[in-house]
């Protein structure tokens, strides 16, 4: 099975402009993501960006990069354009978040393993929720599964609702999962979902993957025990710098 890891990286960001190029312990964030992805079982890793500064940085550390449109609405759309321009045959594509410099190669490999099953169309990672603060945080999307570990629904609200139980006791009554934002796509399915229009549930929850579920696609999930750490704000960067300094 041939696979490509694609790292979408935009320079513009409402909360943190230029974050792919911030320095984390002597390396830019995009370099750290790239190097972690290269340790996984991927045939190729490529950065997909709309910015010449990011592209030049990737070339400086001998990475592969593709320039894409600045008008994509999602990383999924950017991944598909990058795949078309990269011109390397593949069976599946892994969309790796460009703001997670500490992503574990094992997480990527777990996702790749989902595609050993021919019926897998789309795949993503989930992790068990262990604290009420995560469960009730709307910035932490939750997911419920069927018996085949396919996603039934994603929500910013805690799901399912534990009737007859006080909310502070829900974690004792049910195993809740949060969504980890790394995706895998079968190549033909990626081409199809990029042609879909935004859906009502997607717009309501502001979760792109609901568009796929509403249109009848299946999302396989795999459980990870690693805690991801994305950098969305300058405050997150300060935490990342402390993590790196503790390892040095």
- Using CA atoms, how far residue 186 sits from 89, 112, 133, in Å, is 12, 10, 34
Rg value, the chain, Cα = 18
Segment among 77-86, 123-132, 196-205 with least mean pLDDT: 77-86
| pLDDT tens-digit readout, 214-240 | 999 999 999 999 988 888 788 888 887
Higher pLDDT, residue 43 or 246 = 43
Position 35 confidence tier, pLDDT thresholds 50, 70, 90: very high
Instruction: Please name the residue that has the structure tokens 């974690």.
Output: 171
1-103 and 118-179+187-227: identical CATH topology = yes
Is the Cβ–Cβ distance between 7 and 47 less than 8 Å? yes
In this prediction, residue 247 carries a pLDDT of 61
In this prediction, residue 12 carries a pLDDT of 77
In this prediction, residue 48 carries a pLDDT of 95
Of the options 3.30.530.20, 3.20.20.70, 3.90.550.10, 3.10.129.10, the CATH number for the domain spanning 118-179+187-227: 3.90.550.10
- In this predicted structure, the answer to whether residue 89 has a pLDDT above a threshold of 60 is yes
- In this predicted structure, the answer to whether residue 49 has a pLDDT above a threshold of 90 is yes
* Residue (of 70, 54, 45) closest to 20 by Cα position: 54
Higher pLDDT, residue 207 or 236 = 207
In this prediction, residue 10 carries a pLDDT of 87
- In this predicted structure, the answer to whether residue 246 has a pLDDT above a threshold of 90 is no
In this prediction, residue 238 carries a pLDDT of 82
In this prediction, residue 235 carries a pLDDT of 81
In this prediction, residue 239 carries a pLDDT of 80
Question: What is the pLDDT averaged over residues 29-39?
Answer: 96
Question: What is the pLDDT averaged over residues 133-161?
Answer: 96
In this prediction, residue 87 carries a pLDDT of 79
In this prediction, residue 28 carries a pLDDT of 95
Question: What is the pLDDT averaged over residues 197-213?
Answer: 96
Domain definitions of the chain by residue range: 1-103, 118-179+187-227
In this prediction, residue 14 carries a pLDDT of 67
* 160 upstream amide cis, omega within 30 of 0: yes
Q: Give the torsion through C-alpha atoms of 33, 36, 40, 45, to 10 deg.
A: 40
Would you give the distance in Å from CA 70 to the centre of its chain?
19
- In this predicted structure, the answer to whether residue 15 has a pLDDT above a threshold of 90 is no
Phi (first) and psi of residue 212, to 5 degrees = -70, -45
Q: Which CATH class is domain 1-103?
A: alpha beta
For residues 82 and 84, what is the distance between their CA atoms, to the nearest angstrom? 5
3-state secondary structure the chain: CCEEEEEEECCCCCCCCCHHHCEECCEEHHHHHHHHHHCCCCCEEEEEECCHHHHHHHHHCCCCEEECCCCCCCHHHHHHHHHHHHCCCCCEEEECCCCCCCCCHHHHHHHHHHHHCCCCCEEEEEEECCCHHHHCCCCCCEEEECCCCEEEEEECCCCCCCCCCCHHHHHHHCCCEEEEEEEEEEHHHHHHHCCCCCCHHHHHHCCCHHHHHHCCCCEEEEECCCCCCCCCCHHHHHHHHHHHHHHC
């Amino acid at each position: 099975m041939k696979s490509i890891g694609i790292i979408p990286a935009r320079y513009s960001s409402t909360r943190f402009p230029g974050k792919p190029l911030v320095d984390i312990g002597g390396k830019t964030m995009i370099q750290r993501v790239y190097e972690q992805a290269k340790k996984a079982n991927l045939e190729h890793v490529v950065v997909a960006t709309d910015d010449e500064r990011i592209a030049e940085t990737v070339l400086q550390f001998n990475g592969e990069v593709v320039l894409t449109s600045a008008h994509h609405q999602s990383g999924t759309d950017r991944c598909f354009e990058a795949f078309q321009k990269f011109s390397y045959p593949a069976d599946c594509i892994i969309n790796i978040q460009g703001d997670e410099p500490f992503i574990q190669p094992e997480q990527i490999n777990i996702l790749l393993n989902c595609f050993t099953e021919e019926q897998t169309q789309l795949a993503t990672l989930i992790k068990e929720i262990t604290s009420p603060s995560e469960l009730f945080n709307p910035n932490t999307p939750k997911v419920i599964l069927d018996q085949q570990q396919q996603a039934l629904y994603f929500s910013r609200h805690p799901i399912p609702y534990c009737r007859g139980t006080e909310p502070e006791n829900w974690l004792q009554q049910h195993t809740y999962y949060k969504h980890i934002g790394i995706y895998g796509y079968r190549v033909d399915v990626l081409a199809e979902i990029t042609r879909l229009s935004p859906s009502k549930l997607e717009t309501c929850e502001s979760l792109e993957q609901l568009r796929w579920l509403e249109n009848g696609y299946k999302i396989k999930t795999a459980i990870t025990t690693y805690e991801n750490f994305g950098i969305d704000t300058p405050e997150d960067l300060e935490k990342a710098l402390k993590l790196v300094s503790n390892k040095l």
